[in-house]
Copies of this chain bind each other. A is one copy, B any other.
């Protein structure tokens, strides 16, 4: 299990690269991204410390990475050679069970995301995103919940499948309605209940 550090502009691995390592996020956040042929990008998930990645099937079949893993700022990642990882899992039922649980949670999450993308309007999808940001990386503050991950409007757009302009416009509306305040450097959720209402309306 070796520790590796990555910084801005680097990649942990890219879509299509051969799968060699199992990874755990130690410090910082990591973006999982897929892109289409015409350059459009979609952010599938932001991994936080403790999150596993490439703990799964792509690692098995000698296949290649189905997406790109990109550090958001400076990150530190623990990794282990594929073979050693599998050996470890076989020898250690507790670890294997933990990975099964983790993958199951990730699968549920991914399917919930698919549902939101399939059924909700852009503003609802953004509201859902803000809610989960508040829950997963929120820091309580006097006048709301600060999101500790730095996300530009473009990042948010890529996370909910809309254009940057649409994300900007909707966030501007949210700001006007006092549901949120600030931008990437300091995004604060000010009215979580109202956002929840909007997400399910």
Contacts and interface: CB of A to CB of B under 8 A. Distances in A.
A58 interface: yes
Contacts of A37: 200
Contacts of A120: 36
B114 A58 contact: no
Contact of A90 (B66, B93, B112): B93
Contact of A104 (B60, B112, B160): B60
Nearest to A106: B107
A105 interface: yes
A34 B108 CA distance: 11
Q: Which of A42, A86, A90, A103 has the most CB of B within 10 A?
A: A103
A66 B106 CA distance: 13
A36 B120 CA distance: 9
Given A115-B44, A117-B117, A57 B93 contact: no
A24 interface: no
Contacts of A113: 114
A100 interface: yes
B40 A108 contact: no
A44 B107 CA distance: 11
Contact of A119 (B40, B60, B115): B40
Interface of A: 32, 34, 36-37, 40, 42, 44-45, 55-60, 66-67, 86, 89-91, 93, 96-97, 99-108, 110-115, 117-120, 160-161, 200
5 contacts: A86-B97, A90-B97, A96-B100, A103-B107, A107-B107
